[in-house]
Structure 1
């Protein structure tokens, strides 16, 4: 099975910032894994934020953070 990530969604995730709480204004990829795991145990928020937090946790668990960092570097937010 071939998997083709959606480039637009990767760019969105790379530049999305936490809108509330202790880590407000931090990029989702910069959130600590235990914080994301807490959401997994207690429930992710509904909607886009929840989906992006869930994806961020999977990216971190699978060691793919460098991919997101490369997207941040190669596709700055102002180029979207």
Structure 2
């Protein structure tokens, strides 16, 4: 997965289960991502996306996603 594909997936992929089911990955609360970080991210693409979003929020890089979010019809 390229960086561009990864960022695009962060603004389009929805959480498939749990308290935040159907929430777009980039909209998940930081506390939820910290919890996953402590417990361990799921395997596969979802885990990769959650881990990436954790790092983005941890480092204050959410602004990188704004241009992509603005392109998505709501």
Scaled by the length of structure 2, the TM-score of the pair is 0.86
- Structure 1, unmatched stretches of 5+, are none
Detail structure 1 runs of 4+ shifted over 3 Å in the superposition: none
Paired residues of 1:14 and 1:69 also in contact (CA < 8 A): no
Number of aligned residue pairs:
72
Scaled by the length of structure 1, the TM-score of the pair is 0.80
Higher relative contact order (CA 8 A, sep 6+): 1
- Structure 2, unmatched stretches of 5+, are none
The alignment yields a C-alpha RMSD, in angstroms, of: 1.5
Task: Compare CA radii of gyration and give the structure with the larger one.
Answer: 1
